[in-house]
Structure 1
Amino acid sequence: MATALHKPLKCLGEEFYREALEHCRSYNARLCAERSLRLPFLDAQTGVAQGNCYIWMEKTHRGPGLSPGQLYTYPARCWRKKRRLNILEDPRLRPCERGGNPTLTP
């Protein structure tokens, strides 16, 4: 039974495999697009707010395999902590200074 199933899959070969990879890629792309539209939610088990993540690579990032048997390679992407806005550095968010003679200008 296993050989009867194995022969048609072997005949399809690499084209079948590439098509299956492409279907997986498009499914993951749709899933990521759907998740990015959702608001962050609170995970009931961990109590942590879960938001959108950017771990999926695009098809344009895909490169040829470097070792035998490897079809694709993807570039390494280092995680970087987002820079937090310092409220005191932004002139629009500084606290109003009190004192003096306040004047209103139209």
Structure 2
Amino acid sequence: VAAVVLQIYLGEEFYRDAIEHCRSYNARLCAERSMRLPFLDSQTGVAQSNCYIWMEKTHRGPGVAPGQLYTYPARCWRKKRRLNILEDPRLRPIEFKIGESWY
């Protein structure tokens, strides 16, 4: 409802510019956050990591419903690859031999 009121009083071009400025601000904010990741959130105690829920401008399509400006394609969820600890030589358990002296 507020969007319709804005379009009537300020014009559609102003509304589109405001949406674009919002998008660029959010993109810049997310880029700055991803540089600092991962970090531990002090409020929740959860380690924050990068996410891929944001779409680029190139993914935009025209709106299909009345009053809809843009549509975005659905993104498939993919499970992240987990590091196999036994295959990484840096993370193998240290082998100790009994009977050897260190000095």
Q: One fold, TM greater than 0.5? A: yes
Partner amino acid, structure 2, of 1:79: W
Partner SS state of residue 67, structure 2:
coil
Query: What's 1:60 paired with?
Result: 58
Match for 1:10 among 8, 11, 20? 8
Structure ID, larger Rg? 1
Q: Which residue pairs with 1:85 in the alignment?
A: 83
Task: Identify if the C-alpha distance between structure 1 residues 9 and 85 changes in structure 2 by more than 3 Å, giving closer, same or farther.
Answer: closer
2:31 partner amino acid: A
- 1:46 alignment counterpart: 44
Residue equivalent to 1:101: none
In the alignment of these two chains, the number of paired residues is 92
Alpha-carbon deviation of 1:69?
1.3
8 Å contact kept, 2:7–2:15? no
Aligned residue for 1:27, secondary structure, equals helix
Q: Against the structure 1 CA distance between its residues 18 and 88, is the aligned structure 2 distance closer, same or farther, given a 3 Å change threshold?
A: same
CA contact (8 A) 2:39 2:47 kept: yes
- Residues 89 and 12 (structure 1), Cα distance of their counterparts in 2 relative to 1, 3 Å cut: same
TM-score (norm 1): 0.68
State whether residues 59 and 73 of structure 2, in contact with CA within 8 Å, keep that contact through their aligned partners in structure 1: yes
Report what 1:99 is aligned to: none
Q: Give TM-score, length-normalised by structure 2.
A: 0.70
Identify unmatched segments of 5+ residues in structure 2: 95-103
Quick one: percent identity of the two aligned structures? 83
| Corresponding residue number in structure 1 for 2:100 | none
Unaligned runs of 5+ in 1: 1-5, 97-106
Find the counterpart in structure 1 of residue 27 from structure 2.
29
Q: What is the alpha-carbon distance in structure 1 between the residues aligned to residue 20 and residue 36 of structure 2?
A: 25
Q: Which moved more, 1:44-53 or 1:55-64?
A: 44-53
Secondary structure of the structure 2 residue equivalent to 1:86: coil
